[in-house]
A and B are shown apart, each in its own frame.
Chain A
Amino acid sequence: QVQLQESGPGLVKPSQTLSLTCSVSGGYFSSGNYLWSWIRQPAGKELEWIGHISPTGNTNYNPSLKSRVTISIDTSKKLYSLKVTSVTAADTAVYYCARRLFAGDYDAFDIWGQGTKVTVSS
């Protein structure tokens, strides 16, 4: 059974860089049917798609964050990472990693990590 687990600092200072890693266990990591994704949710608010990366390293980002976001992948270690630069209080949120699976008519975030809370504060 595939499981995702986020890790990284829970507190980041304003103007610094937020860095998180998602480790994937079980299952096959490098399928062309997967896009490894990051999604965040500020407290009491809706979900926001940040971006995703394919096993071959192709990325897409939300234009609202594109200038500050980098997603990278290490297929040998079955993990992928998120970096958000120049953070402000508006980046405070629970960050989720999730697998986007697309196969035939199916295209959805079918597996999620438990989420990790990141607070931006001095």
Chain B
Amino acid sequence: DIQMTQSPSSLSASVGDRVTITCQASQDISNYLNWYQQKPGKAPKLLIYDASNLETGVPSRFSGSGFGTDFSFTINGLQPEDFAAYYCQHHSDLPLTFGGGTRVEIK
């Protein structure tokens, strides 16, 4: 199985901050990486697909980059509605696996 290691596991930030989360794959996954946002009690929501492509309707303050084994996800100008958990997920091979998640909390 391909292991996805996310860091940090949690962070505290203020409205307006720039926040970056990283995700490392245990082997080369090309750009086959997605990012999801999950709010408490809700299902995950797709934000970024194939490492850097913004899902339709998702605000442009969200962005992603990376290739191979190292990826990053950035929120430029954190908004109150962005406080949530974020997960990376690869689709390079089966089984599909997710990262451990990053909880973004209010400072």
A interface residues, Cβ below 8 angstroms from B: 46-49, 60, 62-64, 96, 98, 105-110, 112-115
Of B46, B94, B96, most buried by chain A (CB within 10 Å of CB) is: B96
Please tell me which one of the listed residues B45, B50, B87, B101 contacts residue A105 in the complex, with CB atoms under 8 A apart.
B50
Report yes or no: A47 in contact with B44, Cβ–Cβ below 8 A. Answer: yes
Q: Give the interface size bracket for B toward A.
A: 20 to 34
Residue of A nearest to B31 (CB): A105
Q: Which residues of A contact B45 (CB under 8 A)?
A: 112
Shortest A26–chain B CB gap in Å is 16
- B53 interface contact, C-beta 8 A: yes
| B97 interfacial by beta-carbon distance below 8 Å | yes
Are B87 and A113 in contact (CB-based, < 8 A)? Answer: no
CB distance from A75 to the nearest CB of B (A): 23
Cα(A60)–Cα(B95), bound, Å: 9
Point out the residues of chain B lying under 8 angstroms from A110, CB to CB.
46, 55
Given contacts A105-B50, A105-B53, A108-B91, contact A49 B97 (CB under 8 A): yes
Contact with A along B41-63 (1 / 0, CB 8 A): 01111100110010100000000
- A-B contacts, 16 of them at CB < 8 A, read A46-B87, A46-B99, A47-B87, A47-B101, A48-B98, A49-B98, A62-B95, A98-B43, A105-B49, A106-B50, A107-B49, A108-B34, A108-B49, A109-B44, A112-B43, A115-B42
Partner of B49, one of A46, A63, A106: A106
Q: Besides A107-B49, A108-B46, A112-B45, 10 other CB < 8 A contacts?
A: A46-B87, A46-B98, A46-B100, A46-B101, A47-B87, A62-B95, A98-B43, A109-B34, A110-B46, A112-B44
CB-CB under 8 A from A114, the residues of chain B are 42-43
From B42, B49, B98, contact of A47 by CB (8 A) = B98
Chain A residues contacting B94 (CB-CB under 8 Å) are 60, 62
